[in-house]
Structure 1
Amino acid sequence: MIYFDHAASSYPKPPTVAKAMSEAVTQYSANPGRGGHKLAEQAKNVIEQARKKLANLFDAPSKKHVWFYQNATMALNQAIIGFPFQKGDHVVTTMFEHNSIIRPLEKLVKEKSITVTYLEPNEDGLILAEHFQNATTEKTKMFAISHASNVTGAIVEISEVSNIAKQHEIVLLLDASQTAGTIPISMENDGIDMLAFAGHKSLLGPQGTGVLICKSDFGLEPLVVGGTGTESELLHQPSSWPNRYEAGTLNTPGIAGLSAGIDAISEMGINAIRSHEQELMVHLVNAVTGIEGVTLHGPTDLSKRVAVISLEVEEVNSQEVAMILDEHYQIAVRAGMHCAPKTHESLQSSEQGLVRVSFGPYNTLEEVDMLVKALKEIKEAFM
C-alpha cells in the first residue's frame, strides 16, 4: 500500500514508537503519579521526559506548561471553551479551520453570545496578516488560527499575525496539527500564546495523543475535573500546572510512543523533513498540472504551503476517485470534506469534496510517479 494520507495520521511509524509503547505496557504498566512505588515512578518519569522534550521542541517556558490530551480536538476545546469569554467578545479565525476550531467557537456563539469573523483567503489562496488587522475590533479577544490548511496546505505567516495580536493584547491560539514536526515552531520567537497539535501526525506518534501548550495563565477553566494523584485533599481542582488541566489517568503507552516519535523527527531534522516533503509536493504538482481535466487547489507559490495537495478529476466524484485508487492501485488518499466545511465553501467544492494527497517523511518520488500514472489512467477511463 502506498500511503498518502499523512494529513490525517502518519504511517508508517518509526519502529521505536511501537517498541516504546510495548515497553510501557509490558514493563511498567502502572498508574503514573498515583503511588510512590518504582513502576508508578517509572511511568511518571516517561511522561515527564516527553513533556520536557515538547517544551524544548516548541520553545515553551517550561514543561509544566505542556498538557496532554486524547487528541488535538480536546486540546483546542480546552483552549476555546475554557477561555474566559464574556458576552459580546470577538474572535477572528479563518475559512481554513478544521471543525475542531469551528464547532467550539460556534458553540460559544450560541451559549455566550460571542461573535466570530471568518477570514477569506485572497486570490492566491493565502490569508495574510493584514486580514487580521482589518478584522480586529476593540472587542477582539482571540485569534484562533490553523497554521496550515488541512485541505490546501496554505500556511499563515504566524509571526506577522502575532505582532498584531501583541499590539492589541489579543491571545493567539495556533492549531499546529498540520505543521508540528514539519515546520520549525517557537512559541517565544513566533509570539504564540497557546499551541495545540496532534501527536499522531507529523510528530510520528500514535493516535490517542494530543497536546496544548499554554504560555501564560489566561484564566482557563478546566473542562474536566477529577483525580490528579496529588493534592488529593482538595475538593476542587488544584491550581498547580499541569495537574489543573490533566484530570484522570494519562495515556502512558501513547505518550511513550509520542516521545519516541519526537526523537525520530529530531534525528531526521525538521528542516530535512520539510525539504523532502516539499520536493514530493513540487514533483506532484508539476506532473499533475499537465493532465487535462485534473484541477489543483491551493496557493501556486509552493513555498507557502505544506505538502498537502487537494485536487478534483473532471466529471468523477472525489469519493469514486479515492475508491479506485485504493482498490485498483493500492494508493491511500482522503476524499470528501476533510472536516473543513468553510474551506470547501471558499473553494466551491462542497458538493462533491476533493481528493486530498498528503506526504510524510517516508514517501518517495517513485510513489508519487505511481499516483500520477493512476490519475492519468482514471481520467482516460472516464473520457
Structure 2
Amino acid sequence: MIYLDNAATSLQKPEEVRLAVADAMLHMGNPGRGIYGASLDAARMIYDTRSLISQLLHGDGPGQVAFTANSTESLNLAIEGIFRPGDHVITTMLEHNSVLRPLYRMEDRGMELTILPADQYGCIHYEEIAAAVRNNTKAVVCTHASNLTGNINDLKTIGDICRKHGLLFLLDASQTAGVFDIDMKEMGIDVVCFTGHKGLLGPQGTGGICIRKGLDIEPLIVGGSGMQSFLRTQPEQMPERLEAGTLNCHGIAGLHAALLYISRTGLELIRNREQSLMRRFYEGVKDIPAVTVYGDFSKKSLEQRAPVIALNIGNLDSGEVADELAVTYGIYARAGAHCAPLMHQALGTVKQGAVRFSMSHFNTEEEIDQAVAAVRELSSWEQETI
C-alpha cells in the first residue's frame, strides 16, 4: 500500500501516538472531575496539550485553547458564536464546506456574505479583499491552504488588510497546522480552527480552536463543565466557556504525543520533506500526455505550497482513476469534489472532479516514483481509447 491521502487524514502516525492513546485508555480519569491521581494526571495532560498548541500557533496562552472534535466543529463554533444578522463577512472560493456551509446558514439568518472569486489557477487576489469591505464588514474567514490545489494564502497580507480595516481574521488551518508556521500575533489572526488528525498527526476526533484573548465567542454547546455547577449558564471563563461535557481525553493524549513528536522533529524538517516529495511528484506528472494538473505552480508557489497535487487524466472520471490506482497499483489517493465545490467551479472540474495526491513526510521517494509511473501508465491507456 502506498498511502497518498494525507490531506484527508494522516494514516502513518508516530508510534508514540498509538502508545499514548492505549495508555490513556488504561489509566486516565476525567479531568476536572476529581482530586485523585487518574483525574489529576488527565488534567495535567490536557493543560500541557493546550500549552503546546498555543506555542505552535503563537497564541495567548493555554487558557485560550478549547478542544473540539475537528475543524468542522471549531469553524461552526467560531462562525455561529461571533456573527449576527446584519454583519458582513468576506470569504473565498477556496473554502471547504466546513467554512461555506456554516456561513451559508448564517446568511440564511440575515448575515451578509461576499465570496471572493478564484482565478483559473485557484488563486485569490488580495486587493479584492479591501475592495469588498463595507461599513458593516466584521471579518474575513478563509483557509490557509486549499485542500484541492495546495495553493497557500499569504496570511500576513490578509492579516494586515484586516488590521487596517478593523476586521476580525478567522483562519481554517486544517491543511497546514503542524506543517506550516502560523503566528497569530505576527499575522494578525484572531481565531485559528484546527484539526488533530491531519498535519498534527494525532487521532481522528481531535481538534480545537485557539482564540485571541479578549475576543468573546458564544458557546455552541452548553452543559457540564466540572465547575460552577450552580450557574444556569455556561461559565464565562475560557476554555470552559467553549467546552461542555467530557473531553476526548484518550484522543487528546494521542494529540499530545504527536505535538511532542512535531516539536522534536521540527516544522521546517517536516515541511521541507513534504514539499520535496510534492515537487518530485509534480515534476514527474506535469508533462505526461493527457494529464492536467490544477493549481498555481509558478516558481514562487512551487517553493511554498501545501503538499497536495490534484490532477485529471484526459476525460477519465476521477473516481474511476482513483479506483484503478487502488485496485491495480495499491496507491491510495482521493477522487471527487473534496468538499470544495466553489474551487471546482473556478477550475472547471465540476463534472469530472479531480484525483488528489497528498504527501506525508513518512512517504518515500520510491513511493512517489511508483505513483508517477502509475499515472503515466493510466495516461497511456486513456490515449489508446481516444
Specify the TM-score bucket, using the shorter chain as the normaliser. Answer: over 0.9
Task: Quote the residue 1:332 is aligned against.
Answer: 332
217-226 or 236-245, which moves further after superposition? 217-226
The 8 Å contact of residues 178 and 201 in structure 1, kept in 2 or not, is answered as yes
- Residues 273 and 361 of structure 1 are in contact (CA less than 8 Å); yes or no, is this contact kept in structure 2? yes
Could you say which residue in structure 1 is the equivalent of 2:22?
A: 22
Mapped to 2, the partners of 1:327 and 1:91 lie a distance apart of 44
Matched, 1:109 2:77: no
- Long gaps (5+) in structure 2: none
SS in 2 for 1:275: helix
Inter-CA distance 121–286: structure 2 relative to 1 (3 Å threshold): same
Give the structure 1 partner of residue 356 of structure 2.
356
Matched, 1:56 2:55: yes
CA distance in 2, matches of 1:161, 1:326: 39
1:63-212 map, 5 Å: 63-87=62-86, 89-111=87-109, 113-122=110-119, 124-212=121-209
Instruction: For 1:94, give the aligned amino acid.
Output: T
Identity of aligned residues (%): 42
Match of 1:317 in 2: 317
* Contact 1:128/1:157, CA 8 A, preserved across alignment: no
In structure 2, distance between residues paired with 1:119 and 1:338: 19
Provide closer, same or farther for how the CA distance between residues 373 and 84 of structure 1 changes in structure 2, counting only shifts above 3 A. Answer: closer
Matching residue of 2:4 = 4
| 2:122–2:347 Cα contact (<8 Å) kept | no
Q: Deviations over 1:4-24 (max 9, x none)?
A: 001010121100000110110
- Offset, 1:124: 4.5
Once the two structures are superposed, residues 55-98 of structure 1 have per-residue CA deviations (whole angstroms, 9 ceiling, x without a partner) of 111111110000000111000001001114232x2111010100
Write the distance in 1 (CA, Å) between the matches of 2:354 and 2:248: 34
Normalising by structure 2, report the TM-score.
0.96
CA distance in 2, matches of 1:303, 1:337: 26
Mean CA deviation greater in 136-145 or 125-134: 125-134
Contact 1:21 1:254 in 2 (8 A): yes
Matched, 1:244 2:241: yes
Kept in 2, the 8 Å contact 1:24–1:253? The answer is yes
Query: Is residue 36 of structure 1 aligned with residue 28 of structure 2?
Result: no
Q: Which runs of 4+ in 1 moved over 6 A?
A: none
Q: CA RMSD in A?
A: 1.1
Tell me the SS of whatever aligns to 2:128: helix
**In structure 2, distance between residues paired with 1:34 and 1:261:** 25
**How far did residue 303 of structure 1 move?**
2.3
| TM score, norm. by length of structure 1 | 0.97
| Cα distance in structure 1, aligned partners of 2:364 and 2:372 | 13
Deviation at 1:225, TM superposition (A): 0.2
CA shift, 1:354, in A, is: 0.2
Q: Which residue of 2 aligns with 1:256?
A: 253
Query: Within 2, Cα distance between the matches of 1:61 and 1:275?
Result: 28
Provide the C-alpha distance between the structure 2 equivalents of 1:196 and 1:364, rounded to a whole number of angstroms.
Answer: 30
Amino acid aligned to 1:73: T
CA distance in 1, matches of 2:78, 2:237: 17
Structure 2 distance, partners of 1:169, 1:85, is 17
Q: How far apart, in 2, do the equivalents of 1:228 and 1:283 lie?
A: 49
Measured against aligned partners, the alpha-carbon deviations of 1:10-68 in whole angstroms (never above 9, x if no partner) come to: 1211000001101100122x111111111111111111110111111111111000000
Letter in 2 for 1:45: R
Q: Which amino acid aligns with 1:147?
A: H
Encode CA deviations 1:217-259: one digit per residue, 9 max, x unaligned: 3332101000000111212111011011000000011001001
Q: How does 1:365-376 map to 2 (within 5 A)?
A: 365-376=365-376
Query: Mind listing any 5+ residue stretches in structure 1 that lack a counterpart?
Result: none
How far the C-alpha of 1:348 sits from its partner, in A, is 1.0
How far apart, in 2, do the equivalents of 1:304 and 1:57 lie? Answer: 19
CA contact (8 A) 2:149 2:308 kept: yes
Aligned twin of 1:270? 267
